[in-house]
A and B are shown apart, each in its own frame.
Chain A
Amino acid sequence: MLKEITEFLNKEVAGCNATLKEAEVGDSTIFVEASSIKKVCFALKDSAEFDVNVLQAITGCDYSDRIEVSYILASFTKNIEVIVKVKLPKTGKNDLVKIESVCDVWKAANFQERETYDLLGVEFTGHPDLRRILCPYDWEGYPLRKDYEVQKVWQGLEVNPAHKINQEDHDFMTKLKLSSDNPKIVTGSWEGHVSPELLEQLNTKMASLKDASSEE
């Protein structure tokens, strides 16, 4: 079915350059040129053969050099599901990447695009009301980007204040590991938040264990 849709898109929309990326596991996706996304959406919605009448979600994923925006579409009359993707090259840390809005095609795009703008920093040109939707209106940065850092102060309030963090809790698993003969059987989930001294102790212990096992 996806092959037919790709052929249809290449025939219908000039210059959309639709390519099918076939996956061994999971779902296959169709990549199109970012400049032709609106035409592609209109073509899919208006086609009598596929009748893609529902926009389920607009979402994205950050791959350090580019942001891939996915349009998850479906037809409830023909029972089709298709993921259309575009690649948008990323420039700077907090720079917006731009793509045309599809609000004219489906009304559902309104909130979905606002969410993608809020969390990933994708600017949809032509959107009637592009504001943040889940984060506060004056929040800085785009949380779902991989290089995101939480801002230190928001509206005069300290974000993640040190006295609110229970360091003993975070260190608990590491202490268990240090006391155990076989630290590998302890699987802790707070590894990223351990205090530096304990982490150093653990690293030396792990290194010595490794040496011992390699000597044997």
Chain B
Amino acid sequence: MDQYNEEQEKLHTDLLTLNMGPQHPATHGVLRVEIKTDSEVVAQAIPHLGYLHRCMEKHCEDVDYRGVIPYTDRLDYLASMSMEWGYSLAVEKMLGTEVPARAEYIRVIIAELQRIASHLMYFGTYAIDLGAFTPFLYAFQDREEILRLFEEISGARLLYNYVWIGGVWNDLNDEQLRRIGKFCDKMEENMKKYHALVGMNKIFRDRTANVGIISKELAYEYGATGPVLRGSGVEWDLRKNRPYGYYDKFDFDIVTGKGEMGQVGDCWDRYYVRVFEINESIKILRQALDGIEAGPIMGKVPKIIKVPEGEIYLRTECPRGELGYHLISDGGKKPYRLKVKSSCFTHTSMLPDLAPGQLIADFVATIGSIDIVLGEVDR
């Protein structure tokens, strides 16, 4: 026995360094996380970003104001419509352009459909992260309908270039509006089914409840926004608190995490917020479909856009959190500087604080639950 103890003391133990990514299905893109593990427990996690860095902020300084929109598409490629809208709003605010009522309604409809599509993507891939394959197929079936509609109106399935400065590029016809109405009815039924199937599942609950807890204080400290902040129990939604577009005309609720399955701010709460936000989006969609009226879809915008000298910081509520555009103009035809404040970048910075003490499998669940898109992180 004594000999055994001596042997053990001589044994040198060390932390094991593992590279998670850049090509790893659980990181949802090209994110590399260098993790130091003590057997199955993560001791330290260091995110390495930049594998998708294109320096789009520099590119934007080289094209005119309209030419920036396709670049914004490629930020969060799962929510391109929301990305375009934020940029267009910033330029419109600087120009003082009035957007016609029909275009405002179309923008709300499009953005909410995009939110549903993006949350469905989260729902499907998150289930895959945790080992369930079937929900992914369900989610993609429904998402496909939205993408088909977007393809009809804009010509593309992912990168639309649809929301333009002053309005939108193309009109929606009555048949398409009816289809959206039908889709809402179907989606509402489906979400009940999906939530019962996945959210209430025993394995799913065990894997997500009390895992990756983000307290309210930590969320504020890191500047978290969107579903991550709401999952921590904070009632904060730009659509309600600082309304833009026509959002002040609609009646909907802010979904917050309540800690039903464990502590407030765990992975399950973030799942809950996203899934029930789809229902709120459906509420908004129905009101928008009732309110939409005939009219022009493009406001009066000069042929060559020259933004007056000054700067603006404008943020909008995108599916993954708040997206901010800090636009500085020197009075010329091109932006002098355009900074994109990305919520995914902010959320990625939380990983080193969340990882220590977690099992590797739980860390995968945590990365999935903050739902990052690397196009927006790396820009």
Contacts and interface: CB of A to CB of B under 8 A. Distances in A.
Q: Are A and B part of the same complex? A: yes
A24 B242 CA distance: 21
A133 B336 contact: no
Interface in A123-146: 132-136, 143-144
A6 interface: no
B96 interface: yes
Contacts of B286: none
A108 interface: yes
A135 B51 CA distance: 9
A178 interface: no
Contact of A26 (B241, B311, B346): B311
A54 interface: yes
A86 to B, nearest CB: 15
Interface in B80-104: 93-94, 96
A19 interface: no
Contacts of B311: 23, 26-27, 29, 83
Nearest to A106: B221
Give the interface size class of chain A: 35 or more
A59 B94 contact: no
B226 interface: no
A143 B58 contact: yes
Contacts of A18: none
A134 B379 contact: yes
Contacts of A29: 311
Interface in A74-92: 76, 79, 81, 83
A59 B326 contact: yes
B221 A25 contact: no
B57 A26 contact: no
B341 A72 contact: yes
A25 B346 contact: no
Contacts of B221: 106-108
A134 B336 CA distance: 21
A81 to B, nearest CB: 7
Contacts, number: 96
Contact of B55 (A56, A61, A143): A143
A182 to B, nearest CB: 15
Contact of B349 (A108, A134, A136): A108
A111 B234 contact: no
Interface in B195-245: 220-223, 229, 234, 236, 241-242
Contacts of B223: 54-56, 106, 108
Interface string B63-79: 10001000000000000
Contacts of B315: 56
Interface in B42-71: 49-50, 53, 55, 57-58, 62-63, 67
Nearest to B310: A26
A192 B55 CA distance: 18
B312 interface: yes
The winner among A29, A72, A192 for most chain B CB atoms within 10 A is A72
Contacts of B183: none
The winner among B58, B313, B326 for most chain A CB atoms within 10 A is B313
A119 B312 CA distance: 20
A135 B52 CA distance: 10
A102 B249 CA distance: 39
A26 B94 contact: yes
A140 to B, nearest CB: 14
B222 A107 contact: yes
B19 to A, nearest CB: 15
B310 A24 contact: yes
Contacts of B326: 57, 59, 70, 72
A157 to B, nearest CB: 16
A212 to B, nearest CB: 23
A53 interface: yes
A179 interface: no
B327 to A, nearest CB: 8
Contact of A76 (B49, B236, B310, B348): B236
B306 to A, nearest CB: 12
A133 B312 contact: no
A133 B339 contact: no
A151 to B, nearest CB: 14
Interface in A4-38: 23-27, 29
Interface of B: 49-50, 53, 55, 57-58, 62-63, 67, 93-94, 96, 220-223, 229, 234, 236, 241-242, 308-313, 315, 322, 324, 326-328, 336-337, 339, 341, 345-346, 348-349, 353, 378-379
Given A26-B94, A135-B50, A136-B50, 15 more contacts: A23-B310, A24-B308, A24-B310, A26-B310, A26-B311, A56-B315, A57-B324, A59-B326, A70-B326, A76-B234, A83-B311, A111-B348, A133-B49, A134-B50, A134-B378
8 contacts: A56-B324, A56-B341, A61-B328, A76-B234, A83-B313, A106-B221, A106-B223, A111-B349
